[in-house]
Amino acid sequence: MTDTAPSREAALFLQLVLGLQQASMIGLGKLMSPMSGKIERNLESAKNTIDTLAAIESRTRGNLEPDEQRVLTQVLTELRMNYVDEVKKGN
């Protein structure tokens, strides 16, 4: 393994973050639900997932590689902006 190749732990961490991002995007109604095959908004679910990512960010602060921190920050920023947009739309 080279120094530039991500470790298995880093890859698994990023997979977790991106999986939670996808779950939140489904809750925001931005992606089709794989269970129903439909676009379904569930803002409470999306908010809970965003809060989970925020907790991960808080609990791992100072312990992430720069790329891991960058991805986590970008994901949270994107999800928070989309959440605000969806709340403004209302039902």
In a domain, 3, yes or no: no
In a domain, 2, yes or no: no
Could you tell me if residue 29 is left (phi over 0), alpha (psi between -120 and 50 degrees) or otherwise beta?
left
Q: Which position has the higher pLDDT, 2 or 89?
A: 89
What pLDDT does 2 receive? 47
Distance of alpha carbon 28 from alpha carbon 43, whole angstroms: 6
In a domain, 39, yes or no: yes
- Mean pLDDT of all residues in 1-18: 81
In a domain, 34, yes or no: yes
Contact 30, 59 (CB under 8 A): no
Burial per residue of 31-59, b for 16 or more beta-carbon CB atoms within 10 angstroms, e otherwise: eeeeeeeeeebeeeebbebbeebeebbee
Per-chain mean pLDDT for the chain: 92
Residue 54: give the domain boundaries: 9-89
Token representation of residue 22: 């996808």
The pTM (predicted TM-score) of the whole model is 0.88
The number of distinct structural domains making up the chain is 1
In a domain, 54, yes or no: yes
pLDDT digits (tens, 9 = 90+) for 46-89: 999 999 999 999 999 999 999 999 999 999 999 999 999 999 99
In a domain, 1, yes or no: no
In a domain, 63, yes or no: yes
